[in-house]
Structure 1
């Protein structure tokens, strides 16, 4: 398995992929060594199909941004918002910057490694196809790092494969003090709405 959450050392082999969602045709530059470099992955496709862009958002987070599909889409749909695009794969971050520039939202998409993000920032919404394959402990740590950065009343929109532990993750989030509702289920994926109200401090 390619560890797409780590920065690769092999050749990039950049290429162009196309996708359609939100009644728009999109073109993205991808490369080897990043998540779903061959095209829009099914989970992200389900998340986009089952979600609408937030209205009035000022700060958004694409957690595990890959080559920037969610970040670019959110910045395009939310002209008043800045989108932090966070990933541990520096090649993915470079591609995200390339795609943001291509879609003329580079001034509002901020690709960054996790440690580069100001811990004091708070988000109206977090969108993520989280890296389940990093392991349960690391995934839980990731979510407990970023979910508390939601503003009061903020929401995280997560898509998780049913066969990759979506239902157990939902139970864990609830046990951790979050309200986690399944808002859609399609093609083997669950889409969760996770809200900050009642979250353990």
Structure 2
């Protein structure tokens, strides 16, 4: 059985493939592989996010939390060429693919890093591509955060991850999260509000909710 996509070093045998990201303003063919999230196609939740989220800030620091092989981060980098984009994931195979995809499409304003579930940088061996972000780059502050978060890892891991990364938003930064309704989008919205992270549903399509989250003004 294939390893879960949240594993740091999936041992599923490699089977390279591609997936097409087709948006009104963008068409990217992306390298994928087994052992990463949604290797056969760009998943519906990600497409809902990218088709409904407002344009990213033209400059500043932007974050893709749980970048996988890069569809969200590469879209951010394409739409905001003057910004610095960071994609993070616990899955080293996914991060390697994301770096390759950025290189293939000439997107030099995006970097990718392997991180622990707690948001700490993970040393990498035999990495290729652009220089890895520095540890301090992971701390932000970030002016926008887009994510299709890994809901199935369980509430404990998910909540800890969101506390960490949402806490790295800039004072004016906004996060947009896409969550499937039947996997708990409404309960997640209530939890965010209770954590002092005001959340607003800004889109709903095909069973997915897109939540805009801000840091509390307190």
Displacement, 1:10? 2.5
Q: Which of 113, 126, 135 is the matching residue for 2:154?
A: 135
Match of 2:5 in 1: 4
Tell me whether 45-54 or 1-10 shows the greater mean CA deviation: 1-10
Matched residue pairs, number?
Answer: 198
Deviation of the 1:151 alpha carbon? 0.5
Aligned residues of 1:61 and 1:83 also touching (Cα < 8 A): yes
- Deviation string, structure 1 residues 51-104 (Cα, Å, up to 9, x no partner): 132132311110000000011111111111111110000000000001000111
Displacement, 1:196? 1.4
Asked if the contact 2:174/2:214 (under 8 Å) is kept, the reply is yes
- Which residue number in structure 1 is paired with residue 30 of structure 2? 28
Partner of 2:132: none
The answer to which of 21-30 and 129-138 deviates more is 21-30
Deviation at 1:25, TM superposition (A): 1.8
Aligned partner of residue 55 in structure 1, secondary structure: coil
Say whether 1:155 aligns with 2:155. no
Q: What pairs with 1:101-112 in structure 2 (closer than 5 Å)?
A: 101-105=103-107, 107-112=108-113
Q: Is the 8 A contact 1:178 1:198 kept in 2?
A: no
Equivalent in 176, 179, 186 of residue 167 of structure 1: 186
| In 1: Cα distance, 2:19 partner to 2:214 partner | 33
Displacement, 1:2? 4.4
TM-score normalised by L of structure 1 = 0.94
**1:189 and 2:196 aligned:** no
What is the rounded CA distance, in whole Å, between the counterparts of 1:22 and 1:74 in structure 2? 14
Indicate if the aligned counterparts of 1:22 and 1:48 stay in contact, CA closer than 8 A: no
Hey, what's the Cα distance between the residues in 1 that align with 2:112 and 2:27?
23
- Contact 2:57/2:144 (<8 A) preserved: no
Q: Contact 1:179–1:198 at 8 Å: present in 2 too? A: no
Q: Which residue of 2 aligns with 1:90?
A: 92
Unaligned runs of 5+ in 2: 122-134
Gaps of 5+ in 1: none
